Structures are given as C-alpha cells and as structure tokens.
Amino acid sequence: MNKFREDIDEEFGPEPELKVKSEKIKTEKVKSEDDKKFSETFIGKFFNEGVISKEAATDALPFLCFLALLGMIYIANSHFAVNNVRRIDKLNKEVKELRWEYKSLKADLMFKSKLTEVAKKVDTLGIKELIEPPKKLIVKSNEY
C-alpha cells in the first residue's frame, strides 16, 4: 500500500489489485540464438535447471582457475621429469661408451708396453735388446 495515500484509502477503500493473465509469456522469442545454443548444451542445462546457479559458478571461478593452474604445473612437472630421465639415460650410455673406450685403450697400452713389443718398435731405430744381464758396479766406501 501507498504510505502517502493512507487517508485517501480510508475514504475510497483499498485499491483493486490487478490480475495477471495466466498465459505464459513466450521467452523463446526474446532469447537470442546464442542463448538457445547455450541452453541446449549439457552445461547450459546444468546451470539453467538449478543445480548450480550462475552466482555460485562465478564465485567458484577463482578456485577453478587455481585448479587449472595446478593442472598446468602438474603437466609441466611431468614433462620436466621425463626430459630429465631421457637426459640421464643419454648420459649413462655415454659413460658406458667412454668406459669401454678406456678399457680398450688400457688393454692396448698394456700390450704395447710389453718388452717384446717395445723391442720390435725400437728395432727400426737401431736399438737392440740386451742378451747378457747388466753388470753391477761396486763402489767402496773409501773411494767415494
């Protein structure tokens, strides 16, 4: 009721209430095509049928963005871990190859440092292997 018209209402009686026709207002004509497409999708039905209101969805938006960020960090971390594993495997293969190369070079050096192999190599220079044992030099204490 109108507070300013209290004294008038007493003279003439209460105002008559307007009755609204029970015909349904066609809202489909008012809706745009985008709204129709949205209401036909699963997400549109999910929001329009009252399971989650639009206000609740907008309130939860920061949390959903946080979850998306965590998901991206999780994916990036897994990619980083896979790359580390690949790099470690590559380095392990390289270490094995270098170890094999070291062992083969060491064996080759041991073979080339044998007396007979050294004698064959220096024979071209005119140096020959001793046949008789070396002589001992004895120095007396008073001669020194």
Amino acid at 42: F
Please write the tens of the pLDDT for every residue from 126-135: 888 888 898 9
Please write the tens of the pLDDT for every residue from 43-53: 666 666 666 77
Nearest to 56 by CA among 67, 64, 40: 64
15 with 9: CB under 8 angstroms? Answer: yes
Burial string for 119-130 (b: 16+ CB within 10 Å, else e) reads eeeeeeeeeeee
pTM: predicted TM-score of the whole model, two decimal places: 0.46
At 12 the pLDDT is: 61
